[in-house]
Amino acid sequence: MSDYAVLSKRLSYQFKDPELLATALTHRSANKQHYERMEFLGDAILNLIVTDDLYHRFPAATEGKLSRLRASMVKGETLAQLAKNIELGEFLHLGSGELKSGGFRRDSILADVFESIIGAIYLDSGYGPAKQFVLTMFKERLEDIDINVDLKDPKTRLQELLQSKGCDLPVYEILSTTGQAHNQMFKVSCHVALSDNPAEGSGNSRRKAEQEAAKQMLDQLGLQQ
């Protein structure tokens, strides 16, 4: 296990109570006090901080646009990437099963731990330092936002396209589910009236697989950005 001093440097934050950091890094599989309550807290704090920043950054944006911008900022893939940027996986406390299955590099766990770190900083020092941490981690992403980009997810865009043409809604069908319960992969097909050829997508949840299938269908129809 790497020294917490290394992680503190990467976080640009020194914990007054190191036990909070230890809990924030502990998965429930380790059979110790784990991060899930801190993750719950961190998720709420993260959403508030990002919402507040977007509200003031884009004063003319509608509620719908702000909601989509926030969703694009705090989605699991983004949080996992931020966790990878500071190599957070090196510091996780995992049970033997999770360790053997590569839990230290699994996006879902990394995203959860990133949120738990936010919760831990809040418990250790309050809202101000938690806000500073979040805004530092998200600085480039917030500054690079293009307010004119369509941020609707592929399923929504595909559904709106079909509705605009008077077609039935897309039909998604699970083709296969593989892997263990904690690490499943789903393969899904997407059928629409505008194409005779179904599109397929895969992901570690049914939702992600459906989104990927919708994206592939938009590609097939020549409508993906």
Residues with active-site annotation: 43, 115
Comparing CA positions, the residue from 210, 214, 192 lying closest to residue 202 is 210
Residues 17 and 126 sit within 8 Å (Cβ to Cβ): no
CA dihedral 91, 94, 96, 99 (to 10 degrees): -60
Greatest Cα pair distance, the chain, in angstroms, is 61
